[in-house]
Structure 1
Amino acid sequence: MTHLLKNLTNSIWHAFHALQVDGAFVVAKSKLKVLTANIGTLMDLYGIEKGLEHYRSTQTLTFEQYVYYLQKEVFSSVTDTTPIQTCRNLEEGIDEICWLVCRKMYLNRIHPVFEDHSVYQLFRIFCLLGEMEADVTDSLYLVTAHSDEVAQIASQFVTSLGLNWDPLDFSALAVAIGTFRFSTFLAVLESKYSGGGSLDAAALTEAIDDLYQTYVEDVLKKGYLMKKGFLLPTLRCFWFVLRPGELTYCKDSQQKEASGIITLDVNSWADAASSGGKPDRKFILSTPEHRCIELVAEDHRGRLQWLSALQIAIQHSTEKIGYQRTLAYQRRSTRQASRQQREETRLELQHERQARIAAEIQARKLEALSKEENAKVQELEDVKKRLEILLQEEKQALRDEEIVRALQARVLREEWERREQLERLQKEQQDLLESEKLKLIEFERKQHDNERQLEDAEIRLQQLESEKQSLDSELKSAREKARLAEEAQILLEAQIVSVRPPGSGERIRRTQSFIPTTKERPLILEKLEERAITLQKNC
C-alpha cells in the first residue's frame, strides 16, 4: 500500500537525518539495518534488514535509495486489503520508532517548556503536515512545513490556551524565518506562543493533546451527549468521541476504554428529531448495525455542530487516508496549483519579454535599413517642420494678440464699471451729506426753540416763585391776624361778659358777625393753603 509509506516518509526522513554523520547526507548500512529491523519486527517481517547488504555495492545509502528499498522490500507486504485500523497502528508504531531514533536532537533544549510526550505529539503533527522538498541536488531532501500550516496549528494552540492570535505578527515572523523545520516549529511554539511561562504545564499539555487528537487521531468532535438506551428508554449521559467511520462513547472523558462503538458507513445518516417545528436538542443517528439511536445535545447550537460533524464522519468513513491528512493534501494541492499558476504566469511574462526583445532587435535592423532611405525625406520633413513651426508661431502670435485684446477690453470694461460704481458711491455720499446738513439745521432750530422755551419756563418759574413767596407771606400774615383776632375776640368776649349791660345782647351779636368764629377760621386757613399748593404746582 503506497499511501502508508507516503504517510511515513517524513518521520523516516527525520530518523535518517538523525543517523547521518557530519552532514554527509548519507547513512551507513549498519545503522539503517537497526532501523529496518525495528520496522520489520513491527510489521512481522523478520530478517528483512539482511537485504541491505546486497542492495547496491556501497556501504552508505542516500535517503532516496533507502526509501526505494523500503518500498520494494518492506512496505510491499501491505496491500489494499489491509484493514484501515491495522494501517493506522503500523503508522503510529513506525512513527514512534523514528521518534526514538531522532528524539535526542529535539529534546535537548536550553529552556524546555513542553513535556517530552507533548514534543512527540507535535512531531507526529509536523510529520503529517510537512512537505518533502528537494534541495540543491536530487539526493538531498528537507522536510518543512508551510507557513500556512504552521499558522493554522499555532492559532488553534493559542486559542486553546485562551490567548489572542495575531495573524499579522505571525506573517512578519514567517517572512523572517522563511523555512519551518521541526526544530524551528517547536522553538516558535515554545518561545512565542506558550504564554511566556505564565501558563500551567497541564494547560499546555491539554492544548497539545487537543491538537494531537484533531490532526493525528482525526477526532472531528467530542463532548457530552444524552443517549437513550436500547432496552430501557431512559437518557444517560456519555462522553462521545467522533472520528471518520466510528462514534465511540464512554462514561466520562477520563475513561480510556470505550463503553460502546457505533460504526458509521455510507448507509448511515443523521437528522434532527421533529419537535413541532421548534428548535430542539434531539437528533437521530441511524446505522445498519444499531438502527436508530436517539441522542440529545446540550443545546440547539450543539445539535447543529454534531449533525455537521456526523455528516463529515459518514462521508469520509470509507477513506483509507485520514481526514486531516486529506485536508492537508488538498491545501498542499491548492498551494502547488497556485505556485504552478504563478510559475506559468512568470514563464508567459518571460516569453513575452523575449518576444519583445526579438521584436525590438528586428525593429532596430529595419530602422537601420530605413535610415538610408529616409535621409532625403528627412530634409524635406525638416523644412516642413520649420514651416509648420513658423506657421504655428504666427498662429500663436495671432492668438496671443487676440487674448491680449480681449484682456484689455475686459480690463477697460472693469475700469468703466469701477468708475460708474465710484460715481454712484460719490453721489450717494453727497446725498447723505445734504440730508445730514438738513438734519443738522433742523436739530439746531429745535435746539434753539427748546432753549427759548427753557428761558420762558425759567422766567415763569421765577414769577411763580415770587408769587409763592408773596402768598406765603400773605398766608403767614393772615394766620397771624387770625391768631391775633382770636385772641382779641377772647379778650373782648371776656370783657363783654364781665361788663355786659342789660339789653346789649343784640349789639354783641352784631359785633361778632364781623369776627370769624372758631369754626370758620379753619376753613379760611384751608382755602389759603389750597391756593398756596396750587401756586407751587404751577411753579
Structure 2
Amino acid sequence: MAGLLRNVTNAIWHAFNALHQEERGLVNKTKLKVLTANIATVLDLYGLEKGLDHYRSSMNLSFEHFHHYLRQEVFSSLPNSLSMAEMRNFEEKIEEICWLICRRKYAEANHTSLDEKHLYKLFRIFCLVSDFVVPENDPLGTEVLLNSSETVLLIQQIMTAIGLEFENDKRVNHLSQNDLSFRFDQFLDLVDFPDNSNVIEYEESMHEAIDEMYQTYIKDIIKKGFLLRRGYLLPTFKEYWFVLQPCELSYYKNHSEKELCGTIPLDPKFMVKPSINTSGKPDKFLKFVLSSGERSFEFATHDHRTRMQWIAALQLAITYSSGKEGFQRDLISQRRKKREADRKRRKIEEKLRSVHLKEVELAKTQLKQEQLARQAAENQAKQFEELAREDSRRVAELEDLKTTLERLLEEETQAKRDEEIVRALQARVLAEEWEKREELEQLQREQKSMLEQERQKRMEFEQRQKEKENQLAEAQMMLKKLEEERIRLDLELKHARLKIIESEANKEDLEARMDAWQPILKQNSGVRRTLSFVVPSRERPTPMELRSSSFRRKTAQDSN
C-alpha cells in the first residue's frame, strides 16, 4: 500500500542509516533481511525477506533499491481498504521497530536530559514533519531533513509550553531568516535550552510539551476539553473529558484519560449543528447535536464561544474522517507543497537572474567592442580634423561675419517694428485720453448743473424755513394771547360763580320771607299783586346761560 509506505519512509530511512554500512550509502542484504522480516511480521506477512537474495546481483543495496523492493514485494501485498485507525496502528509499530534499530545512535548523540520515551516521541514527530531529500547528482546521498520553517514551528511550541519567550530568541530569529535543513541529531541539539536553573521543573515542562506535541501530531488530536453529554437512558447532562480525532470522538471521566467511557466513530454521514430551543424557557446550557442517519448525540457547553469551537472542530473531523490521511499530515503536506512551490519559484527566479546576468555580460562585451571601434574612428577623425581645422576656422570667421550682419539686420528690422508698435500705442493712448477728457468735461458739466439745482433747492428750503419760523412765532404769540384770555375768563368765571352763590342765598331768603307772608297774601290779593310787582319773580338761570358771556355781563351789571 503506497500511502502506508510513504508515511513510514522517513523512519525506515533512519533504521537503514543506523545499520552498519559496508560502503557509503550501501547496506548488506543480511542486515536488511532482519529489518524486512520485522516489518513484514508487523503487517502479518511472512517469508518476504527471502526475496532479497534474488533481488539484484550485488550483496549491498542502496536505500533507493531497498525502498523499491519494499514497495513491490511487501507493501503491495496489503489491501487498499485499510481504515485510518489500521493505518495508524501499522505506522506506530513500524516506526517503533525502526526506533529500536537507531535508538542507540541518537541516544548517544542526545545532549538533553530527555529519557528514551520522549526521545522516541520526538523521533516520530520528526519523521512525520521532515522531508525525504534525494540529491539530483548523488542518488546515494539521500537524507531525511527538517526544514527551518518546520523547525521554528516545533521549537516555538516547545518554548511556549515550558514558559520561554521565543520572540527575541536568537536561534529562532536565525532559523526564521535562513532556509536551512537539519538532521534528527541536529534537531535534538536545537531543542536543548540550557538557560533553565531548575532542572527538575525544566524536565517536567519538556516532557509535558513533548507529550502535547505527540498527541497533536501523531495522535492527530484536533481538540480536547470538557463537554456535557445527554445520556441515552437517563436524559440528563453529565460532564466528560472529550478527545476529538478525525475518525472518532472519545470521552473519559476526567482529563487524565485513564478511564474510557465511550467512543463515537465518525464518518461523512455525520452532521453537527446548534440545537434550537423551542420550549420558550431559557436553557441553562448551550446545546448542539451530532447526528447521523441512525442516531443523534446531544452535547452542551456553558458558553457560546466553546460551542462554536466544538462545532467547527467536529465539522473538520467529519471532513477528514473519510480520508486515509490525518488532519496534521494534511497540514504538513500543504506546507510542504508550499515550500516546494516557493523553491521552484526561487529556482526560476535564479535562472532568470542568471540569464539576465549573461545578457548583461554579453552587452558589456559588445559595449567594449563598440568602444574600441569608436576610439579607432576617433583617431582617424583627428587626422582629418587637423587638415580641416584651418578651413573650418575661415569658414567660422565668415559665418561669424554673416551672423553679425544678420543680427544687425534683424535688430534694425525689430527696431522699426518696435517703433511702429510704439506709435500705434501712442495714437491709441491719445485717442483714449481724448475720450476720457470729453467724459470728464461732461461729468464736470453735469456736476455744475447738479450743484446749481442743489443751490436753488437750498435757497427754497431756507425761504420755507424762514416762513415756517415766522408762522411759529405768530402761533406762539397767538397761543400766549389765548393763554392770557383763558386766565382772564377763568377769573371772570370765578367771580360769576361767587355771584351765583350769593344770588342763591338771597333767593332762599326771599322765599323764606314769602312763605312768612303767604297767609297775609291769601287774605289780600291786592297786596299780593303789589308785592309781586315790587319783587318780581325770576327763574333760575340754566348752565348754558351761566357760561354765556352776555349772561355774565348781565350778572355783573346786576351785582353792580
**Shorter-chain TM-score: which interval?**
0.5 to 0.7
Which residue in the other structure is 1:38 paired with?
38
| Structure 1 counterpart of 2:265, from 259, 263, 266 | 263
Give 5+ residue unaligned stretches, structure 1: 392-539
The one-letter amino acid of 1:224's match is F
* CA–CA separation in structure 2 for the residues paired with 1:75 and 1:194: 46
- TM-score with structure 2 length normalisation? 0.63
Alignment CA distance shift 1:74-1:48 (3 Å): same
How do 1:120-519 and structure 2 match up within 5 A? 120-135=120-135, 137-166=138-167, 168-174=169-175, 178-192=180-194, 197=199, 199=201, 201-256=203-258, 258-274=260-276, 282-288=286-292, 291-369=295-373, 372=376
Query: Partners of 2:283 and 2:380 in 1: how far apart?
Result: 92
Mapped pair 1:62 → 2:62: yes
Query: Given residue 246 of structure 1, which amino acid in structure 2 is its aligned partner?
Result: E
SS in 2 for 1:157: helix
Q: Name the aligned partner's letter for residue 87 of structure 1.
A: M
- Structure 2 matches for 1:112-123, cutoff 5 A? 112-123=112-123
The answer as to whether partners of 1:240 and 1:250 remain within 8 angstroms in 2 is yes
List per-residue Cα deviations over 1:440-499 (Å, max 9, x = no partner): xxxxxxxxxxxxxxxxxxxxxxxxxxxxxxxxxxxxxxxxxxxxxxxxxxxxxxxxxxxx
Change in 2 beyond 3 A, CA 1:281/1:119: farther
Corresponding letter in the other structure for 1:131: D
Report the Cα distance in structure 2 between the residues aligned to 1:171 and 1:104, rounded to whole angstroms.
29
Q: Take 1:101 and 1:162, find their aligned partners in 2: how far apart are those partners?
A: 34
CA spacing shift, 1:193–1:241, aligned 2, 3 Å: farther
Runs (5+) with no aligned partner, structure 2? 401-560
* CA drift at 1:333: 1.0
Matches of 1:71 and 1:338, distance apart in 2: 30
Equivalent pair of 1:227/1:235 in contact (CA under 8 Å): yes
For the residue of structure 2 that corresponds to 1:207, the secondary structure is helix
| Structure (1 or 2) with the larger CA radius of gyration | 2
CA distance in 1, matches of 2:63, 2:258: 39
RMSD of aligned C-alpha atoms? 3.1
Give SS of 2:153's match.
Answer: helix
The code of the aligned residue for 2:67 comes to V
Q: One-letter code of the match for 1:165?
A: F
CA contact 2:253–2:259 (8 Å) conserved in 1: no
Partner of 1:428: none
Contact kept? 2:111, 2:189, Cα under 8 Å: no
* Paired residue total: 386
Does the CA-based 8 Å contact 1:241-1:247 persist in structure 2? yes
What SS does the corresponding residue of 1:163 show, helix, strand or coil? Answer: coil
**TM-score w.r.t. length of structure 1:** 0.65
**Partner SS, residue 139 of structure 1:** helix
Kept in 2, the 8 Å contact 1:264–1:287? The answer is no
What's 2:486 paired with?
A: none
Tell me whether 188-197 or 235-244 shows the greater mean CA deviation. Answer: 188-197
Aligned-residue offset at 1:204: 2.8
Deviations 1:185-225, CA, capped at 9 Å, x for gaps: 12222335877625154443222111111001110001111
Kindly tell me: are residues 364 and 190 of structure 1, through their superposed partners in 2, closer, same or farther at Cα, counting changes over 3 Å?
Answer: closer
- Offset at residue 31 of structure 1 (A): 0.7
- In the alignment, residue 68 of structure 1 is paired with which amino acid? H
What is the alpha-carbon distance in structure 2 between the residues aligned to residue 307 and residue 280 of structure 1? Answer: 19
Q: Is the Cα–Cα contact under 8 Å of residues 194 and 204 in structure 1 kept in the other structure?
A: no
1:19 is matched by which residue type in structure 2? L
